[in-house]
Structure 1
Amino acid sequence: MHPYPLDPVDRTLLNALQRDGRATVGDLAEAVSLSTSPCWRRVRALEEAGVIAGYHAHLHRQRVGWGVLGFVQLALHDHTAETTSALEREVMAMPQVLSCHNLSGRYDYQLEVVAADLESFADYVRTHVRSLPGVREISTSFSLKEVKRTMALPL
């Protein structure tokens, strides 16, 4: 997949939207010195090209009951397409898994998992993660302090 060609106006629009996804077209137009119609067309083109993948609300994890953030590294028995596809399909259906990355190195996958508390986290790993297809080894670690979290990409 090739990068979409972004000009300075596109980059300014995208930075503004990353700061505030609820910005109005008027606010965006002012930020890039365009009238609203051409600004709206640019945003629409960025959406249609898949550069803007969606809009969301950023929730405060602890305020909605997820007090623990942990990382679970998985090593698999085998790396067949069948095993990895089955594991990835099941992980996609696990709402407590915020992200899943296929890794290089000692572990094959890393999951970012939320839980209400340590006991709930342990239970989730024992009952859900351990039963994922092909899992041979599990290693966990916990976030003691979140120093930085952003979805904003540098443009």
Structure 2
Amino acid sequence: MLDKIDRTLLSLLQQDCTLSLQSLAESVNLTSTPCWKRLKRLEEEGYIRARVALLDNERLGLGLTAFVLLKTQQHNSVWYQTFTSVVSEMPEVLSFYRMAGEYDYLMQVQVADMKSYDDFYKRLVNGIPGLVDVTSSFAMERIKHTTALPLSL
């Protein structure tokens, strides 16, 4: 069970994972050792999965975001394992969901441009049998994007 101090630490780390132990400890009115023990426990219990840098896709030349909806005619476990394995290995796929509703799967894809997307699309449809509909929508503007979860403090 998370208490207010745990949630505050998680919230601070979501905003800046480079904060020093001393800074984190001061923010929650702890000394370094108890703060470090809490952080270690939060990592061991899986609340903190990774500490990463968030990169700027535009500056890196990856300015096209596509949302790809997929319908399949296959739903057996062998096909599913193969499909998810193939898609998970595609570096352009940032997120990948199995859906309820009209479509079976949703992907967020990040590429440089339309040519790059077309190359991705061809690999996708040629590499995975059983796809019956692949519908793509392209983001014109990113209005909000965050990785920070809404933690109630």
**Fold agreement, TM-score > 0.5:** yes
Q: CA deviation at 1:58?
A: 0.3
Structure 1 position 135, deviation (Å): 1.2
The letter of the residue matching 1:106 is E
Match of 1:49? 45
1:118 counterpart (114, 119, 132): 114
**2:109, 2:8 → 1: CA distance?**
33
Give 3-state SS (helix, strand or coil) of 1:64's partner: coil
Q: What CA deviation, in whole Å up to 9, does each residue of 1:14-50 have, x standing for no partner? A: 1110111101100100110000000000000000001
Find the residue that maps to 1:15 and give its secondary structure.
helix
What does 1:23-62 correspond to in 2, within 5 Å?
23-62=19-58
Highest relative contact order (Cα 8 Å, sep 6+), 1 or 2?
Answer: 2
1:85 to 81, 84, 93: 81
Moved over 2 A (4+): none
Aligned to 2:130, which of 115, 130, 134?
A: 134
State the identity %. 39
How many residue pairs align between the two structures? 150
What is the RMSD of the two structures over their aligned residues, measured on CA atoms?
0.9
Give the letter for the 2:124 counterpart: V
What's the CA shift for 1:113?
A: 0.7
Unaligned 5+ runs, structure 1: none
Q: Which moved more, 1:115-124 or 1:15-24?
A: 115-124
> Aligned to 1:130, what secondary structure does the other structure show?
helix
Q: 1:86–1:133: 8 Å Cα contact kept in structure 2?
A: no
CA deviation after TM superposition for structure 1 residue 63, in Å: 0.8
